[in-house]
Structure 1
Amino acid sequence: MILYRKLAIQTIIYSIGFIFPRIINYIFLKFFTLFFKREEFSLYTDMYALSFIVIGFLSFGLENTYFRFLYKKNYNKEIVFSTGVIIQLLISSFFLIISISLIRYLSSIAGYHNHPEYFLMFFLIIFFDTICILPMAWLRANDKPLQYSAINIVNVLIQLFIIMYLFFCSNNFFCKKTYFFFIFQWISSFTDKIGYIFFSNMIASLSNLFLVLPIILKQVTIKKFNKILAINMVNYSVPIMLGTIAFSINENLDKILIKRWISDEINGSYSACYKIASFMSLYIRIFRLGIEPFFFKKSKDSDAIYYYEEITYIFVLFGLIFYVLACGNIHVLMKFLMDKKYHLAIPIIPIIMMGNLFLGVYTNLSIFYKIIDKPIIGTYISLIGLLITFLFNAIFIYDNSFMIPAWGTFTSYGVMLIVLYIWGKKNFIKFCNKKIRNIIIHFLFALFIVFMTKKEMRLGIFFQISYLIIIFLLEKKRFINLMK
């Protein structure tokens, strides 16, 4: 019970540090959809889609690798951290040198020959962010959720301030009278209003690096770099990195292709609605921040399977409640979070959200192949998911409907979850059949409620309240134990 309480407190603190920046991001979403045309918003999302695929490679799976080697008895924690950071620094520095030297060529290939400054800013963002990955993981591993959350909050506040300053400075008479107006003039001399967003992100990422720099300077030294450990970490991380790249392509290929094969206007609507569907990713990430280090710590305990099983069940339960409430009130949310001209792609939201929930369950179950040092299993499964995504996008070429990529995301993550469970049940996943049956019933019940809410919108509140009451009655004992 004490372990649960500590886990809950840490997850709440992590949630604050994670939710606050995302709330600001959703404020940005409302602001950007009001301020930008759909084709302009498409450029903004396209740059981030391309960068996430690059980050999937550069992160090199070292966060998971760090947690795995940290809790192995035969490795010193300080040596693991130093070795990991030095590997990350070498990879990121090599990337920065190569990418800047090829900047005009790369921007031209991507269709941004008039805006090489976008790529320069993104290369720096990626460099700063990847260097920060392991120091931020160190904070989680050392039970410092307050510091972790504070850094995230400071980061987004810096970004918010710079964006507001740049967007409103040009038309503000009083701003022009300040000493800082020359900064605005300098930034405006080399980029446009879309570039303002990237510039603010770059400064925020640099600030993040400065905030974690004391950890790096204090904990990392060349003397603590272990060559044999480095080889073992790289061998462990490569399959995770390949899986991460596959996931990044799964998550972003649709937006990249819709922009280039249909239009920027459609991609703007699709990308904006996709961000609303990312509510589910928000829930998954919060859960993972508190739970993942705990999973690795428990891996050697005799009761580890029980905890994994119970926590995954609770994850599904709350995920489905979140799904029903979000999808049941989607039109209300859309009014607050997005301008009307972007509402075209609303039908993708329930599909993408359920796909993301599949991915969340998959992420929880993936702990089993990580703790037995077989991350290659995740690589194979991710490649299966990637193949499904490519097949759906091949269909999309012939039928330019943005619903096809959405169903591709849903199917890809659903198949990945099923394959992992079937594979894992024969080897390492030992969940009891009763809980699996209950989980399937919960999924079907939640989908039924969302369907009925969509069909009879006037009765939406009634269906949602009924759902919550029934779930509470069915899982009353578990909820009471969790509260205790």
Structure 2
Amino acid sequence: MQENLFSFIKKTAENAKQIYADVAKFFTIIVSIGFLFVLLYLDLLKYLIANPSYWEGLPIVPILLMANLLLGVYYTFSVWYKITDRTIWGAYISLGGAAITVVINLLFIPTFGYVAAAWATLAAYSSMTIASYLAGQRYYKIPYEIGRIVLYIGVAWLGYELSKNIKNWVNANWLLGLLLNSIIMLGYIGMVVRLEWATIQHYFFKRKKQ
């Protein structure tokens, strides 16, 4: 279904490549907002897990969230091999990611346990994303705004790191921590809207006027 959608866009849209680029960027924005939201409010969201004994695994949540964020970006970058009939590249890239996962797990799980498995997942998905982007630029060049994509992911991670420092600073004052985390969340969304306002107008407001 996804492949048919990409093919449909290619055949019917004059600016198909720009649409692919914008889809990748806005996908990154949406999942980065979700990433930051979950981590900023993780101390509240953890109560959705009925058994507190599972909370000991919370430290790997940021790693796995980032890994799956990048996996999503990888899928948006992978449009090139679907519409150029080079799907074998998808197998090559997946095998490379699997190899990285296996090697890291074998080397580090005996020492670091499931934390190593989380980092292995992040390393695999990161490498797959980079590989798909580089290969795609060779066979079907799409003008992805890599600077913006990296910016949104990086600032989301920095927002999470800032929230950790805030948590240490406010100590037991959870209400103050919640307020400051909400300011970080709103600040991030405000940054995105400011930077992407022209694109938002192009896709939503101008079309409504038409």
Unpaired runs of at least 5, structure 2: 168-176, 206-210
Q: What is the aligned counterpart of 1:470 among 182, 191, 197?
A: 191
Letter in 2 for 1:352: L
Which residue in the other structure is 1:323 paired with?
35
Write the deviation string for residues 218-263 of structure 1: whole angstroms up to 9, x where unpaired.
xxxxxxxxxxxxxxxxxxxxxxxxxxxxxxxxxxxxxxxxxxxxxx
Q: Distance in 2 between matches of 1:326 and 1:353?
A: 9
Write the deviation string for residues 417-437 of structure 1: whole angstroms up to 9, x where unpaired.
0011111112213215xx211
Q: What is the aligned counterpart of 1:352 among 61, 64, 68?
A: 64
Q: Distance in 2 between matches of 1:482 and 1:299?
A: 18
CA-based RMSD of the aligned residues comes to 1.7
Q: Distance in 2 between matches of 1:300 and 1:475?
A: 27
Write the deviation string for residues 19-78 of structure 1: whole angstroms up to 9, x where unpaired.
xxxxxxxxxxxxxxxxxxxxxxxxxxxxxxxxxxxxxxxxxxxxxxxx5xxxxxxxxxxx
Write the deviation string for residues 327-350 of structure 1: whole angstroms up to 9, x where unpaired.
111121111234211101001111
Which residue in the other structure is 1:297 paired with?
8
Q: Distance in 2 between matches of 1:385 and 1:338?
A: 34
Q: Secondary structure at the match of 1:475?
A: helix
Which residue in the other structure is 2:172 paired with?
none
* Residue 376 (1) aligns with residue 88 (2): yes
Which residue in the other structure is 1:444 paired with?
154
Write the deviation string for residues 440-474 of structure 1: whole angstroms up to 9, x where unpaired.
11121111001111221323222222222222222
Q: Secondary structure at the match of 2:129?
A: helix
**Superposed displacement of residue 477, structure 1:** 2.3
Letter in 2 for 1:372: T
Q: What is the aligned counterpart of 1:342 among 37, 48, 54?
A: 54
Residues 31 and 69 of structure 2 are in contact (CA less than 8 Å); yes or no, is this contact kept in structure 1? yes
* Residue 429 (1) aligns with residue 141 (2): yes
Unpaired runs of at least 5, structure 1: 1-66, 68-290
Q: Distance in 1 between matches of 2:10 and 2:78?
A: 13
**Superposed displacement of residue 299, structure 1:** 2.4
Which residue in the other structure is 1:312 paired with?
24
Q: Distance in 1 between matches of 2:138 and 2:40?
A: 38
Greater relative contact order, per chain length (Cα 8 Å cut-off, separation 6+): 2
- Written as runs of structure 1 = structure 2, the 5 A alignment for 1:240-319 is 293-301=4-12, 302-319=14-31
Q: What is the aligned counterpart of 2:99 among 384, 387, 401?
A: 387
Q: TM-score by structure 2 length?
A: 0.85
**Superposed displacement of residue 369, structure 1:** 0.2
Q: TM-score by structure 1 length?
A: 0.38
